[in-house]
Structure 1
Amino acid sequence: MVVSDRVVVLGAVGVVAGAWWAPPLPALVAAGVVTAAVVVRRPWTAVVAVAVLAAWLGGRAELAANAPVAEGPFAGEVTLVRDPGEASGAVRVEVRAGSRRFDAWARGRAGAAIRPRLAGERLSVRGRVEADVPSWLRHRHVVGRMEITEVIGWRDGDPASRLANGFRRVLERGAGHLAPDSRALFTGFVFGDDRGQSPAVADDFRAAGLTHLLAVSGQNVAFVLAVASPLLARLSLRGRLAATLVLLGFFALVTRFEPSVLRATTMAAIAALSSTVGRPVSAIRTLAAAVVVLVLVDPFLVHSVGFGLSVGAAAGIILLARPIAGVLPGPRPLRAALAVTLAAQLGVAPILVPTFGGLPVASIPANLLAEPVAGVVMMWGLTAGIVAGLVGGPVATLLHLPTQVGLGWVAAVARQAREVPLGELDLPLLAVAAIAGALAMLASREGHTRLARVTAAVVVLAVLVVPALGPHRPPALRSELSGVGELWQVPVPGGRVRVLEVETTASAGRVLEALRRNGVRHLDLLITPSGGSRAAALVHQIGRRVGIARIWAPAEHRLAGATTPDLGVVEAPGGLRLEVRAVRPRLEVVVSLDPPAAG
C-alpha cells in the first residue's frame, strides 16, 4: 500500500480528533477496526484505524486519570517527574508514587529540602494525599494533590537521569557568575529551564512574542545535531543512526520531555531513520508522522497548548515560509528571515490568539532581531558552556563573555519591543492579512511578480501599523482583573487617576501582564490588603515595571515606602471615593465613584 503525504496528514488529523473525543470504546471495537484496516490495506482504512485507535487510547487515559485516589496520610518514596519550582510561597513539583502522579506542595523545611533537587531523583517523604485536582492537571496524568510535610532523605535516580542532571549542573555551574536574570535566560535558551526568570523579564518576553526562545524547539535540536555532526560523520550508517537516536533521547531527557521537545526530537528521529533506509520523506510528512506517533503514545498531548503551538509553528514554517519569501520584496536573507517569522506566527495564531488574547505586532521585528542572536547563544552554550562548567573560575567568566553580550542583546530587544505601542493582532485582522497574502501568492504564481510584491509589502505594513493607529476604546472606569484585583482608571483633566487594589495571592507575572494589557504605566495608588513578606515581594515586582506614587498597606506592614491610611473616607480626583474600613489585621478599602463623576 502506497501512502501519500496527504494520507499521513489526514491520519494526523484523525489521531488528534480521536484523542480529543476519547470515548469509552470497547477494546474489541478498536481491535476490530485496526484488524480490518490491516486486511483491506487501503489508505482511507488506515486513517480510520489510527483515529479509532487514538480514540480508544484517549478513553483509557481519561479513565486512568479519573480513577479514585485514596485520600489520607502518605509515607513512602516518590520520584520527581519535573524540576521543583516556586508557587504561592511554596515549592511545587510533580511527583510519581508507584504508578500514579501527584501535584506535590511543600513549605518550610520540607520545601527547602526539595528545592535543590532535580527531576528523576527520589525522595522519602511524609505528607497527605488529596484527590481534588483541576482538569488541566489530569491531562498531565496527575491524579491527586500531595502536601509534603517532611523530607526524610533523598537519593539519585536511575543512571540516565543522573547523567542528564549532571550535564545540566555543569552548564549551570559554568554560568554561575552571570546575573540572575541573565543566568535564567541562559538556562532557558540552552535547555528550556526558565524557573529562575524574574516576572518582569518574563513579561518582556511575553509582550515581545519571544517566549518560544525559552522553550526548547526544533532550532535547539538542530543545533545539538550540528554540534555533534563531526563525531557522527565518522560512524557507519547504522552506527550514525543509533548514535543520533541516543543523542536525541538524551537531549529530550535533559530538557524534561516538554511537548515542544517531543515534537522536535521525534521529527528528527523520523528524518534520520528515513534517510538511513534511503527513503527521505517530505517535511510535512515527517511532522504528520511525528504527531501520529506522539499522540498514540500519549493522547493527552492534544490538550497541551505547548504541543499545539509547537506543531502549529512547524506546520506554518513548512507550508508557508517559502511561498511568503517568494512574494516579499527586499534582499533574499531578509526575505527568508521575515518569511519564517511570519509563517510561524500564522501557524500559531489559531491557538495563541484565542488562548492568550492576541498576537503582539512587536513580535515580528523582535523575532527578526532576537532569534539569530539567541541561536548563537544556544550553540555557544552547548559547547563553550560545558568547558566553562568543568573548568570554572576566570576561564568560565572569559568563555561566557559572548554569552553575556548575546543575552543582553536579546533581553534589550524584548524590553524595547514591550515599550513600543504597536498593539496586538486579533483573529479578524489576521484573517484579512492571510487572505491578502494568499492573493499575493496567487498573483506570483500567475507571473505577476511586481503586483505580488507590492501587495505583500502593503499587507506587512498594514499588519504593523493598523493595530497601533486604529481606533482604541477608552479604558473602563473599573475593571475586575481575574486573579489580580480591581483596577480603577478615572479620567481627570490632563490624564487619568489609576488605583489598583491588588490581591496579594496573585502571581507577579499575572499582575504585570494585566497592567500591560490595560495600558497602565503609572499607578497613583496601590492598595495591598496584606503587609507581609509575600505582599512586599509582589509590590517590589510591580514597582520594577510601573511607577507607583503611593502605597497603602495595613498597620505593622513590611513594605518599604508604604503608609497606613486613617479610618474614614478619602476623596480623590475624578470623583473617586476611598472608604477605609479597617487597617488591621488586613487593610480593607472600598473604592467607589461618585455619581456626578461617573456621568
Structure 2
Amino acid sequence: MPMPAPIAVASHRKTYSRQKSGHPAIGRRVARHAAINPMTTQNTALNSMAVGYALESAIGAPTSNNPGAEITVPMRPATALCRPPPSSKTKRERTPITEGGASAANGPATRMRPRYQRGPPATGAAVETGSLSERVVMTESYGEPGAETVHPDATSTSDERNELMLPTRWLVAAAAGLWWCALHPKVVHLVATIVVVTIATSLGGAFTRREVMLMTGFACLVVFTSVRSEHADSAALAISTTAYTGNARVVDDPQPFDRSTRVIVEVDGRRCELWARRHSMRSRLSVVNGGDYLALSGEIVPLSPDRYQRVRWQHVVCEIQPEWLGDISVGSPLAQASNRVRALVTRTGDAIGGAHGALFRGLVIGDDRDQPSDMLQRFRSGGLSHLTAVSGQNVALILTVATPLIRKMAPRLQLVTTLALIGWFVLITRSEPSILRAGVMASIAVFAASRGRRLAPLRSLALAVMVLIVVDPLLASSVGFHLSVGATFGVIVIGPMLASIMPLPARLMLPVSITLGAQLGVLVPALLVFGRAPLVALPANLLAVPVAGVVMMVGMPVAIGVALLPALSHVVLPPIHLAVWWVDGVARVATHLEPESPRPGMIASLCLAGVVAITWGYRHHAHVRAKHEG
C-alpha cells in the first residue's frame, strides 16, 4: 500500500515537517516531490537555505547568488539524497548525490541538505558549515508565510520543552518539601512547607490554571506523605510486649558482629530486630539468606524512642527476643534467584580470600558484612566508603556491559529489558537506599529516552526523590539516602560549576570537579553524622575510583563465568585480586596521610563551599540582570 505524501502539520506558530521519518522511502519521496513541484514559498531567498549551496551548479539549479530561483522541471524523477539502509531485499546500490551536484534531472541536491540536517544521522548530506540555527531553521520553507518549519528537536532540546511543561525549580522545591514533611509529619511543618514552596514558585509571576492544578497535586502528595509517615510512627508506639511462635520472613542478610548477629525479620506484617547472642543461634543464622523463612519462638518488645529513630528507615518497629530458632525454608523464586547470584559473587570472593575477598563483594554487590572493622574505618577516613555502597556508578557499569545485547532488540523490548535489568540489580543488592535512588533515577531516564526526551539529570534526581519519598516516607530518615542524594546533587550541579572556574588540564578537569562536587554535596550530612570531612578524599578518589570501576564492571560477569568454567579462575582472578589490592592500598595510604584533627578538612571544605556559593551568586545576579535588560 503506497504511503501518503509527506505533509507539514502546523501547530500554533510552528510547522513541524514529517519529511525526515526514519523510513528511507519517505525521504526519497520528499526529495522527488520538492524537486518536481516546488512550492511558492520555496522561491524566497533564505540565508538558512543557502547553507551548503554550490557556487556553480548545472542548468536549472539555484546558484549562490539566487538560491531561491525556480528550477527547470526535471525530465525524470529525482534521485534520493540518502543511501537506503543495507537490507537483504536491496538488489542494487543507490549512490548519493555528489557534493555540489545538481541538474534538471536530479533537482537541487545541496538545497535539500539543510532540511536533511534536521533528521536522524546517516540519512543525507553532511553540511557542517554555519551555526546550528543556520543549518536547521528554515523559515517559510513549507506552510504559510511567517510560520517556522523545523524538526521538533531542531531549535529546542527536549529539556527545554520539559522546562516549559514543569520548571526544574518546581520539581526541586517539591522534592525538598516532601522530604521535609516525611521527616517532620506535623501540621505546623506541613503548613510551613506549603507556604514556602508557594512563595518560591510564585516569584515568576501569577499562577495559571495549570500551575494551580500542579500546586494542588503537590499539596495532596504532601498530605499523603505526612499521613503515612505519622501512621508509621504511631504503629511503633502501639507495640506491646507479646509472645510469638511461628515462621518469620528474613528481610535482609544477617549482619555478624563480634559477639552477636543482627537480622531483621517480618512477623505478622511488622518488622522486628532479632539479636542472636548464643553460639547455637549465631550458627543457625550464618546459613540464612534474605527472603528465607525461619521458624522461631520469642517475645516481642517495643523499642526505645532513640533506638527507633536509628532503625526507622528500615521500618523496624519492635524487637523480638528469641528463645529458640528452628527450621529454615526457602523463600520465593525471585528471592532464590537473587540469592544464587549473590552466592556466585561470594564464592568468587572466597576464591580471592581474606579481607580482599570481602572487599570484592563490597565493590560488586555492596556486601560489606565480612569486611574487618579496620578496613571499614580506613575507607571511611580516606573518603572511599562510597565504593562499597552500590549506587549509580554500579548501575551505569551494569548497563554498559549489557548495552551491546540490548541494542539488538526491538525498541519496546529494549525498554522492558533495561527496566528489568535495573530492577534485578536492585533486588540483588538488597534494595539499599543508595541503589534505590540510582535505580529509580536510571529508570526515569531510560523511560524518558524511550519517549524521545532527554531528561536533565537534576530533573531525574528530583523526580526520583519524589517517587521514593511518596512510596516510602521513612526512607527520608536514612543517612545513606542523604549521602546518596547529596553526592548526586554535587556531581550534577556543583561539579560543572567547579569545572568552569578551575584552571586545570582537560584530562584532570572532569574527575577533579566530580570528586569535589560529590564531597561538597555530602558535606552537611558528613559533618553532622561523622564529624569530619576527609582532606585526602580528592587524591584518594582520583587513584582508587578508576580501578574500582573496573572491578565493579567485570565483577559480576567474572563471577558467573568462573562458576560455569572453574578453569578460568586461574586466568581472570589474579588481575581482579591485584585491582582490589590497589584500592585497599590507596585507602591505607590515605588513612596515614589524613590528619588526626578534623579541622583541616572542615576548613578546606567550607572554604571551597564558600567559593562555590559566591560563584553561583555572581552568575545568578548576572543572569537576572541580563534577563531584565534584554
TM more than 0.5: yes
In structure 1, the residue matched to 2:234 is 63
- For residues 213-252 of structure 1, what are the structure 2 equivalents within 5 Å? 213-252=387-426
- For residues 260-409 of structure 1, what are the structure 2 equivalents within 5 Å? 260-392=434-566, 394-409=567-582
- For residues 129-528 of structure 1, what are the structure 2 equivalents within 5 Å? 129-133=300-304, 134-135=307-308, 136-392=310-566, 394-422=567-595, 424=598, 425=600, 429-439=604-614
- For residues 495-574 of structure 1, what are the structure 2 equivalents within 5 Å? none
* Letter matched to residue 253 of structure 2: D
SS in 2 for 1:190: helix
Aligned-pair CA distance for 1:399: 1.4
* Letter matched to residue 178 of structure 1: I
Change (3 A) 1:320 1:139: closer
1:21 to 184, 193, 202: 184
- For residues 108-123 of structure 1, what are the structure 2 equivalents within 5 Å? 108-123=279-294
* Letter matched to residue 104 of structure 1: L
Aligned-pair CA distance for 1:355: 1.2
1:48 to 200, 203, 219: 219
Aligned-pair CA distance for 1:270: 0.5
Give structure 1 stretches of 5+ with no counterpart: 26-36, 448-599
Which digits, 9 at most, give the CA deviation of each residue in 1:29-65, with x for residues without a partner? xxxxxxxx99974443343332232222211222223
CA contact (8 A) 1:171 1:389 kept: no
CA contact (8 A) 1:14 1:50 kept: no
Bigger CA drift: 192-201 or 326-335? Answer: 326-335
Aligned-pair CA distance for 1:443: 8.2
Change (3 A) 1:43 1:446: closer
Aligned-pair CA distance for 1:67: 2.3
CA contact (8 A) 2:497 2:612 kept: no
Aligned-pair CA distance for 1:341: 0.3
In structure 2, the residue matched to 1:554 is none
Distance (whole Å) between structure 2 residues aligned to residue 145 and residue 56 of structure 1: 24
CA contact (8 A) 2:179 2:476 kept: yes
* Letter matched to residue 94 of structure 1: I
SS in 1 for 2:226: helix
SS in 2 for 1:360: coil
Bigger CA drift: 261-270 or 417-426? Answer: 417-426
2:247 to 70, 73, 77: 77
Q: State the TM-score, normalizing by the size of structure 2.
A: 0.66
Distance (whole Å) between structure 2 residues aligned to residue 444 and residue 11 of structure 1: 24
SS in 2 for 1:127: strand
Which digits, 9 at most, give the CA deviation of each residue in 1:140-197, with x for residues without a partner? 2112111223222111110111000000101211232212201110000000000000
Aligned-pair CA distance for 1:87: 2.9
CA contact (8 A) 1:66 1:138 kept: no
Aligned-pair CA distance for 1:303: 0.7
CA contact (8 A) 1:314 1:347 kept: yes
Which digits, 9 at most, give the CA deviation of each residue in 1:106-161, with x for residues without a partner? 22212201112110011112222222351222342112111223222111110111
Which digits, 9 at most, give the CA deviation of each residue in 1:267-307, with x for residues without a partner? 00100111112222111010000000000111111110000
Distance (whole Å) between structure 1 residues aligned to residue 502 and residue 210 of structure 2: 49
Which digits, 9 at most, give the CA deviation of each residue in 1:535-590, with x for residues without a partner? xxxxxxxxxxxxxxxxxxxxxxxxxxxxxxxxxxxxxxxxxxxxxxxxxxxxxxxx
Distance (whole Å) between structure 1 residues aligned to residue 209 and residue 291 of structure 2: 39
Which digits, 9 at most, give the CA deviation of each residue in 1:243-265, with x for residues without a partner? 11111111111000000010000
Aligned-pair CA distance for 1:438: 4.5
1:104 to 274, 295, 309: 274
Distance (whole Å) between structure 1 residues aligned to residue 268 and residue 615 of structure 2: 57
Change (3 A) 1:49 1:428: farther
Change (3 A) 1:400 1:23: same
Aligned-pair CA distance for 1:349: 0.3
In structure 2, the residue matched to 1:127 is 298
Q: State the TM-score, normalizing by the size of structure 1.
A: 0.69
SS in 2 for 1:82: coil
CA contact (8 A) 1:271 1:286 kept: yes
Aligned-pair CA distance for 1:440: 5.8
Aligned-pair CA distance for 1:427: 5.2
Which digits, 9 at most, give the CA deviation of each residue in 1:359-379, with x for residues without a partner? 010111101110110000111
Higher gyration radius (CA)? 2
Distance (whole Å) between structure 1 residues aligned to residue 298 and residue 619 of structure 2: 66
Distance (whole Å) between structure 1 residues aligned to residue 422 and residue 237 of structure 2: 33
Distance (whole Å) between structure 2 residues aligned to residue 249 and residue 432 of structure 1: 40
Distance (whole Å) between structure 2 residues aligned to residue 293 and residue 144 of structure 1: 27
CA contact (8 A) 2:426 2:439 kept: yes
CA contact (8 A) 2:273 2:318 kept: yes
* Letter matched to residue 50 of structure 1: L
* Letter matched to residue 250 of structure 2: L
SS in 2 for 1:104: strand
Distance (whole Å) between structure 1 residues aligned to residue 359 and residue 295 of structure 2: 32
* Letter matched to residue 124 of structure 1: A
Change (3 A) 1:390 1:334: same
CA contact (8 A) 2:381 2:594 kept: no
Alignment size in residue pairs: 437
CA contact (8 A) 1:78 1:124 kept: yes
Distance (whole Å) between structure 1 residues aligned to residue 616 and residue 479 of structure 2: 30
Is the strand fraction higher in 1 or 2? 1
SS in 1 for 2:314: coil
Give structure 2 stretches of 5+ with no counterpart: 1-163, 189-207, 623-630
Which digits, 9 at most, give the CA deviation of each residue in 1:205-256, with x for residues without a partner? 0110111100001000001111111121112221111111111111111000
Change (3 A) 1:408 1:428: closer
CA contact (8 A) 1:109 1:150 kept: no
CA contact (8 A) 2:236 2:318 kept: no
Give the superposed CA RMSD: 2.6
Which digits, 9 at most, give the CA deviation of each residue in 1:485-508, with x for residues without a partner? xxxxxxxxxxxxxxxxxxxxxxxx
Bigger CA drift: 142-151 or 310-319? Answer: 142-151
Bigger CA drift: 81-90 or 434-443? Answer: 434-443
